[in-house]
Every structure is written in structure tokens, then in C-alpha cells.
């Protein structure tokens, strides 16, 4: 008998996760995975932060802890501390109780809950996202019922920001449109606006009554400073206008698989914030009822203790510094090799990813000949590199640039 699902066609592999599948199937000892967006040590191993292990131990040893459901909005301590981390302890928005914060399933879940809320309660259903952006962004917003438009962001000629194009496209956006902004460490390009450029972007967004929706996946992980990486968000909140912020603790606490994040919506008054929170809970309830307890408890334990918080900032800076050092090593090795082209963008870009400027054919060549795996747009994860593997990557880039057009 024919299955009722026999007409279902096989879905294509996720382009990012598919890189890891191909890597895992490659028997070569020289293989290198630069596709995955997760931190690796110098030895190429996943890292669990010492402070995370300490917090977990504390939680496990507490006999009063139970596994009951937590509220729809999540752990109150976690929410309060998450808002404080991104907005700053002295934020007027927090002091005036104008922020509605909900614990969500990492960054993706925070974006999706925010998008569903906007579709139901905001007068505009168009969202402008940068071109390029993280591959999941358009899917998340489309499935929530928003219509996705793009604004220019990356300039392949300079391997930097197309600032003029960005201003023109946002300037032409309809009044009230939603704008997705990467708070720092833009994925996939690693190209961020300067402080002065952020200020121009803020003025333009406010003058056109556009609604900023920040994706903050890398706070502290880009520069090594939690405050520096929150600068863009804080300048928008300081002007008293509204915005949404999706936060993730995947990268900066290494809690990838715990799926810990938060959605904060900054409002004009505490009354509005309280109504907004009540409606966001109505989005969450039929979606997954309430969030998981473990990861958020780890975050709250660390953020609540000044000793643990300090330990975390040191470990976080260690991760950021290793990535910055990999950029420097790769750039210097390409220069020493005499690889054609200007590679200074590698040290100008920031965060986990570098947009190399390599084309699809060059990427395919590097995979086939050198067993180096990355996404076809030439994005490499700097966290997947080590001092030992830089020479292999440089050989491959040099061969690709000189032998493949």
C-alpha cells in the first residue's frame, strides 16, 4: 500500500550543516572544517568553559533544585540579568521598567518569537535584512509571515561595508518598516559599521520611524569586551525609541546545545512593556509552552555571582583573543607566501567569521584538492583554525587564487 507521505520530496541539505556532513564523511587525515559556527580550541576541540562547569556543579549539588515547569516567560532572574547584560546596568530603559524580556530558545528562537509577535501586533509586516546575512534569517521571518526585503551591506570590491548602498536602501524603505541589524560581528562577513557609521544609521532609522530588530549573537565574543560589543544596541536604546533584541548565549558562554537566549522588547513606558510581555507569552504558549530550565540556570548563576562573572569575562576574552590572533597569523602567512591580492580584510573584519572573497569554484577546488570545508560563499570560521592548520589553509588559498579563476 502506498504511503500517505509518498509524495514528499527530499529536502536539500542545510548549506551550513551540510558542510559538516561532507567533512565527517571525508577519510583524509588532512581534512579541515572551517564551516561550523562554533568555537574550537587550538587543538581543534569543543570547549566547555571552566566557569560553566563550576556553575553546573553548583546547580547539581543543590538538593532544593527541582525539575518543575518554569513560567512561560522563563526564569525571572535570567531575564533581568540578560537585559542588564545587553543594555547596561545603568540603562534608563531598565530603571523605568520599559523592557519586556522573555527567555527563548537561543538566538533563533528569540528571532522567531519576536517575528511572530511583530506579525500579530505591529502595523508593518516588511522586514529589511542585510545582503548577505545568516542563511536562517530569511527563513525565520518568512515563516512568521513577514515579507523579507534586502538592504545593501557588503561590498565585494572592498571586502568591506557598502555604507552608501545601506543608507540609500534604508532611506528608500517604507516608513515604519522593520530593520534587522547585527549588533556586532556580522555573520557571514565579519564587517561591522564604525561608531560614526552606527550613529548615522541610528539617525536615519529614527527619522524614518523604522523599527530596529537587533540580532546579538556575539556579545563579548567579537572584541573581547561585553560593553564594546553592545555599543550599537545601547546607542539606539539611549535615544528613548523602541527596538527588539534577540540574544544568544551559544557563543559567548559556549552553551550551544543548551539553547539559551532572550528576546527583549524596549518600549516607551512600563505600561506598554507589561502589555507587550503579556502578548509575547501568548506567542510562546502554543509554540513550546515554556522554555527549558538548565541552560538559563547556568547563565543566571554566572551573572549573579561577581566572582563567576569576572571568571567568565576572562575566559570570554581568551576566546576572542585567540580568534583575533588567528586572523593575524593567517594574514601574515598569506603575505609571506606572496599570495596575489590584498588580504588586509582578514584583520579588518571581526568575530567568528571571515568573508575571504574566494568564489564558489575556488571553494570547490580547495575542498577537492586540499580537503578544506567551508560554505560555498567563501565564509570561513576563524575559530576552526589553529596555528598548526594555518599553513595548510594558506597553501590551499594560494593554489586556489593562482590556479582557479
Extents of the domains making up the chain: 16-47+320-403, 69-304
382 neighbors 354 (Cβ within 8 angstroms)? yes
In this model, does residue 1 exceed pLDDT 70? Answer: no
pLDDT in tens, 298-315: 999 999 999 999 999 999
Q: Across all residues in the chain, what is the average pLDDT?
A: 96
Q: CA-based angle 137:140:145, to the nearest 5?
A: 125
Active site residue 312: no
**Same fold: 16-47+320-403 with 69-304:** no
Residue 85 has pLDDT above 90, yes or no: yes
Instruction: Read off the pLDDT of each residue in 217-245 and give the average, rounded to a whole number.
Output: 97
Choose the catalytic residue: 162, 192, 251, 312.
251
pLDDT of residue 201: 98
Tell which residue, 254, 306, 246, 317, has the closest CA to residue 56. Answer: 254
Q: Rounded mean pLDDT of 366-375?
A: 96
Q: What is the pLDDT of residue 186?
A: 96
Residue 18 has what pLDDT?
82
pLDDT digits (tens, 9 = 90+) for 89-140: 999 999 999 999 999 999 999 999 999 999 999 999 999 999 999 999 999 9
251 is catalytic: yes
pTM more than 0.85: yes
Give the percent of the chain with pLDDT over 70: 100
Mean of pLDDT values over 254-267: 98
Longest CA pairwise span in the chain (Å): 66
User: Is the pLDDT score of 279 beyond 70?
Assistant: yes
250 vs 39: CA distance, rounded Å: 10
pLDDT of residue 15: 80
Decide: 193 and 163 in contact? Cβ < 8 Å: yes
Asked if pLDDT for residue 198 goes beyond 90, the answer is yes
Nearest-angstrom CA–CA distance, 152 and 159:
13
pLDDT tens string 127-182 = 999 999 999 999 999 999 999 999 999 999 999 999 999 999 999 999 999 999 99
CATH topology of domain 16-47+320-403: 3.90.1150
Among 12-26, 262-276, 329-343, the minimum mean pLDDT is found in: 12-26
Mean pLDDT value across residues 386-402 = 96
Calculate mean pLDDT across residues 223-246: 97
Adjacent-strand bridge partners of 381:
353
* Per-residue pLDDT band at 354 (split at 50, 70, 90): very high
pLDDT, average across residues 28-43 = 92
Is pLDDT of 289 > 80?
A: yes
Residue 253 in contact with residue 289, Cβ under 8 Å? no
**Catalytic status, residue 120:** no
What percentage of the chain has pLDDT greater than the value 90? 95
Distance of CA 293 to the CA centre of its chain: 22
Catalytic residue from among 162, 215, 229, 311: 215
290 contacts: CB under 8 Å, gap ≥ 6: 69, 70, 71, 72, 74, 284
- Class at the top of the CATH hierarchy for domain 69-304: alpha beta
Other CB atoms closer than 10 Å to residue 278's CB: what's the count?
12
**pLDDT of 16 above 90:** no
Question: Which residues touch 101 (CB under 8 Å, ≥6 apart)?
Answer: 73, 79, 80, 82, 83, 262, 263, 264, 265, 277
Amino acid at each position: 500500500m502506498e504511503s500517505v507521505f509518498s509524495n514528499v520530496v527530499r529536502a536539500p541539505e542545510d548549506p551550513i550543516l551540510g558542510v559538516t556532513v561532507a567533512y565527517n564523511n571525508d577519510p583524509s587525515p588532512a581534512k579541515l572544517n572551517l564551516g561550523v559556527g562554533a568555537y574550537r580550541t587550538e587543538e581543534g576541540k569543543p570547549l566547555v568553559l571552566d566557569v560553566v562547569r563550576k556553575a553546573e556543579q553548583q546547580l547539581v549539588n543543590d538538593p532544593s533544585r527541582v525539575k518543575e515547569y518554569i513560567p512561560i516567560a522563563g526564569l525571572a532572574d535570567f531575564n533581568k540579568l540578560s537585559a542588564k547584560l545587553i543594555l547596561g546596568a545603568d540603562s534608563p530603559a531598565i530603571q523605568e521598567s520599559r523592557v519586556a524580556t522573555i527567555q527563548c530558545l537561543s538566538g533563533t528562537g528569540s528571532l522567531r518569537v519576536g517575528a511572530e509577535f511583530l506579525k500579530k501586533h505591529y502595523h508593518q509586516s516588511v522586514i529589511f535584512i542585510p545582503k548577505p546575512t545568516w542563511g536562517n534569517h530569511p527563513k525565520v521571518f518568512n515563516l512568521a509571515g513577514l515579507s523579507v526585503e534586502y538592504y545593501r551591506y557588503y561590498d565585494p570590491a572592498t571586502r568591506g561595508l557598502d555604507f552608501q548602498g545601506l543608507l540609500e536602501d534604508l532611506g528608500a524603505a517604507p516608513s515604519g518598516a522593520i530593520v534587522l541589524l547585527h549588533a556586532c560581528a556580522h555573520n557571514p562577513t565579519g564587517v561591522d559599521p564604525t561608531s560614526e557609521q552606527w550613529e548615522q544609521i541610528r539617525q536615519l532609522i529614527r527619522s524614518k520611524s523604522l523599527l530596529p530588530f537587533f540580532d546579538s549573537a556575539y556579545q563579548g565574543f567579537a572584541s573581547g569586551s561585553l560593553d564594546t560589543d553592545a555599543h550599537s544596541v545601547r546607542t539606539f536604546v539611549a535615544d528613548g525609541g523602541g527596538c527588539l533584541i534577540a540574544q544568544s548565549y551559544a557563543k559567548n558562554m559556549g552553551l550551544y546545545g543548551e539553547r539559551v537566549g532572550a528576546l527583549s522588547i524596549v518600549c516607551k513606558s512600563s505600561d506598554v512593556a507589561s502589555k507587550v510581555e503579556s502578548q509575547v507569552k501568548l506567542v510562546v504558549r502554543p509554540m513550546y509552552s515554556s522554555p527549558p530550565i538548565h541552560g538559563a540556570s547556568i547563565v543566571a548563576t554566572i551573572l549573579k555571582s561577581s566572582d563567576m562573572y569576572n571568571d567568565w569575562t576572562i575566559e570570554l576574552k581568551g576566546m576572542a583573543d585567540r580568534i583575533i590572533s588567528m586572523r593575524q597569523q593567517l594574514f601574515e602567512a598569506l603575505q609571506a607566501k606572496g599570495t596575489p591580492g590584498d588580504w588586509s580584510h582578514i584583520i579588518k573584519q571581526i568575530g567568528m567569521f571571515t568573508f575571504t572573497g574566494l568564489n564558489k569554484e575556488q571553494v570547490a577546488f580547495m575542498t577537492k584538492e586540499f580537503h578544506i570545508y567551508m560554505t560555498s560563499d567563501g565564509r570561513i570560521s576563524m575559530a576552526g583554525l589553529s596555528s598548526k592548520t594555518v599553513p595548510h589553509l594558506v597553501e590551499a588559498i594560494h593554489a586556489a587564487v593562482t590556479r582557479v579563476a
